[in-house]
Structure 1
Amino acid sequence: MIEKLAESKVQAISFFSGCGGLDIGTQMAGARIISTLDFEPATVETVKANEFFKFAEHNCADIRNVSGKDYSALLRSSNPDKLIIVGGPPCQPFSKAGYWITNEKRKAVDDERNMVGEYLRIIEEIRPDGFLLENVESILHPTNKAAVDYIEEKITRMGYHFVRILANALEYGIPQKRKRVLFLASKKPISGQPTKLAPEEVEKVSVLDWIGRFDKPELSENEESTEGKTYDYELSEIPPGHNYIALSARDNYPNPKFVANKRFWNFLLKLHPLQPSWTIAAQPGPWVGPFHWNNRRLRAQEVAAIQTFPMDYKFVGSRRIIQKQIGNAVPSLLGEKFVEHLIKFI
């Protein structure tokens, strides 16, 4: 597959590349990544460590210090027939954690953590044939209406047609309930969205099919054990597919340990092997799930598999840094589906 990419007439520049989840999907869709950019050194080292991106230059930089002119020489030498840009600008201003802020006080469009404007700026400077912008589901919350209006008006003013899609990764065969908003834009009219699985196929998606192969003693990690720690016993009492509420009066647990709805829903949350995973977090607390049904924390290989990274993909950094990289990534197969759809319209 990698050698076929060398001949691809569709090429891609990636921004906010992270550890490469979306970029893997972009190349799986047939577009050769010729450049990546991210602000975090560890993520740049991860992408560099993988032969999969041997055709790309990798830049560690702040997008605010980068302009379209910086890509002129690269584009002259690569000479793509078609060029796309892919990226998921940081989403902190649009997270659910900010819902308590009133509409009058919210400043998502102007928030210094909001790189959407910078992403659209560099797209306007480079003028690709099409682009993909990925963000969190909660950007569609009413408190973020100004941000969504800004994005859509800016895309239109730049002369692009677009579709906005709220996607649940599970509906595309990814073993994870993970909702994301994707804007697909092209200089040509664009419509529709990637084909979803039939409902009966979605019901068959199980996390066991993706991570079962990693449940071996020789693949264990020091960080996975909860033995002797605060809620080790409670975790062992929770049935697969449930959270702390299983140990509450609401679920008829004798001598209840917890009160229902008094904790975050993912507290002591445990995977069921025959069901999909919940969203993988980038920085989970010590007792935030999902946990493995065998009463342990998930291994890095398992977390990566749930995000549909290739089995041989290499990650650089400490266990905590690797978790952050994987949790922040776009599932690779989701990227593939949406970039494939975009390419049809450029």
Structure 2
Amino acid sequence: MSIFSGAGGLDIGAINAGAQIVVCVENDPDAAQTLRLNNIGGHQSAVLEKSVETVDFTHWRDDSETILIGGPPCQPFSKNGYWVKNDNRLIAGDPRNMLGQYLRAVSELQPTGFLFENVESIRHPTNIAVFERFLHDAEAMGYACTVYRANSADFGVPQKRKRVFVFGIRGAKNPIPHPHKTHSDPGKPELMNGFAPHVGVGSFIKKYSGQRYAEPQEDASNGTYYHELIHVPAGKNYIALSGLDNYSGRTFRAGGRFWNFLQKLHPEEPAITIAAQPGPWVGPFHWDNRRLRVPEVAAIQTFPDDYKFAGNRRSIQKQIGNAVPCLLGEVMVRHLLEKL
């Protein structure tokens, strides 16, 4: 059972890991339609277009081997929230904090195991008390919990995307071990230890470089910072401008902008994290000095080539940016299934 399903990144991963999706719960109309377009769950009625808060999970409780997967909304735990003073953030009372609803689903469904996903910053000092309460309550319900911080690039995804996973196993005496990563940063030889090098984006998005896939939104040539963008070397961001020879244009103080400002892809390196709602000059940009196309963004998130997305361009970007990379989801779900 999948809750907070979004566009189905974790669901696709679960299917590829050998699980069968019985039902998805997603309240965003476009994301729910995306799930239907791709036949997630095998039939249209498998997608419940409603808030998790309104679902009675006891309906699906049975004696078979069932797992619950999902990532509650991460906005309350996002790094963007660090600009707000701690005494004004009220994480525990934030209506977008759905950790309690995830626990209710666990309590009512009583799955054999669960996989919880969220942003890395859920473990930030501002958020850690809420997260530790989540773990305490899950363990009180009889689940041994393993917390794992994953970088998707360490599992063959062409993107550096850090996420926290919690593996819960009902009735287990001890937490399960962490998954074994398969790739590592070749720029840090001391960490390779026989791992394959991180995968670059080039081989994933090359097929979408022709005019057939061109989008009006990709053109940045009339924008405020286009002159600066074309001078940023592949794989770098705005900071690189200060070190260029024979460059005549604006430079920016290091730390004066968000790190992803004017960030550009390098074909032989993983992308930075794909954002759900990027600003106009937030990367990654293509090394051809344009914004990325929908199939390119989806490929970096390792969605299947023929995956369909519902909604307008803004909605699709949000769906893809909020998703768990399918390949990372596959590895995590398979690890859970193997330990049940």
Q: Does the TM-score normalized on the shorter chain lie above 0.5?
A: yes
Question: 3-state SS of the aligned residue for 2:147?
Answer: strand
Would the alpha carbon gap of residues 269 and 233 (structure 1) be closer, same or farther in structure 2, given more than 3 Å must change? same
Q: Closer, same or farther in 2 for the Cα pair 1:252/1:138, shift >3 Å?
A: farther
CA drift of 1:258 comes to 2.2
Q: Distance in 1 between matches of 2:311 and 2:84?
A: 35
Unaligned 5+ segments in structure 1 are 1-12
CA distance in 2, matches of 1:121, 1:241: 43
Superposed CA deviations along residues 17-36 of structure 1, whole A, max 9, x for unmatched, are 00100000011111100100
Q: Which residue of structure 2 aligns with residue 312 of structure 1?
A: 306
1:155 equivalent to 2:138? Answer yes
SS in 1 for 2:221: coil
| 1:332 maps onto 2:326 in alignment | yes
Contact 2:156 2:198 in 1 (8 A): no
Moved more, 291-300 or 260-269: 260-269
Given that 1:247 and 1:253 are in contact with CA atoms closer than 8 Å, whether structure 2 keeps it comes out as no
Give the number of equivalent residue pairs: 327
TM-aligned CA deviation for residue 167 of structure 1:
0.3
Q: Structure 2 vs 1, CA of residues 202 and 281 (structure 1 numbering), >3 Å: closer, same or farther?
A: farther
Q: For the aligned residues, what is the CA RMSD?
A: 1.7
Q: Secondary structure at the match of 1:32?
A: coil
Return closer, same or farther for 1:256/1:231 CA change in 2, 3 Å cut-off: closer
Provide structure 2 residue ranges, at least 5 long, that are not aligned to the other structure. Answer: 185-191
Q: Distance in 1 between matches of 2:10 and 2:129?
A: 26
Alignment of 1:137-286 (within 5 A): 137-189=120-172, 190-199=175-184, 200=192, 201-248=195-242, 250=243, 254-260=247-253, 261-286=255-280
> Is it true that 1:50 corresponds to 2:35 in the alignment?
no
SS of the equivalent of 1:109 reads helix
Give me the whole-angstrom Cα distance separating, in 2, the residues matched to 1:159 and 1:141: 26
- Residue matched to 2:12: 24
1:204 is displaced (CA, Å) by 4.4
What are the Cα deviations for residues 59-111 of structure 1, in whole angstroms up to 9, with x where unaligned?
Answer: 11111122223x24xx5xxx673100100000111111222445554422221
Query: What secondary structure, in the 3-state scheme, does the structure 2 residue paired with 1:17 have?
Result: coil
Q: After superposition, what is the alpha-carbon deviation per residue over 1:295-346, rounded to whole angstroms, capped at 9, x for unaligned?
A: 1100100000000000011111111110000000000111110110111122
| Structure 2 residue 82 is matched with structure 1 residue 99 | yes
Question: In the alignment, is residue 321 of structure 1 matched against residue 315 of structure 2?
Answer: yes
Deviations 1:191-241 (CA, angstroms, capped at 9, x unpaired): 112221143445341110111111112111111111222222221111101
Report sequence identity in percent. 47
Q: 1:118 aligns with which of 101, 115, 139?
A: 101
Residue in 2 that maps onto 1:4: none
- Greater mean deviation of Cα atoms: 314-323 or 255-264: 255-264
Equivalent position SS for 1:282: coil
Partner of 1:64: 53
Partner residue in 2 for 1:7: none
State the match for 1:344 in structure 2.
338
Question: Any conservation in 2 of the 1:245–1:251 contact (CA below 8 Å)?
Answer: no
Q: 1:135 to 1:287 in 2, by over 3 A?
A: same
SS in 2 for 1:143: coil
Question: Aligned letter for 2:52?
Answer: I
Cα distance, 1:277–1:181 mapped onto 2, change above 3 Å: same
Q: State the TM-score, normalizing by the size of structure 1.
A: 0.90
Q: Give the 3 Å change call, closer, same or farther, for CA 204–164 of structure 1 in structure 2.
A: closer
- The CA deviation at 1:123 is 1.2
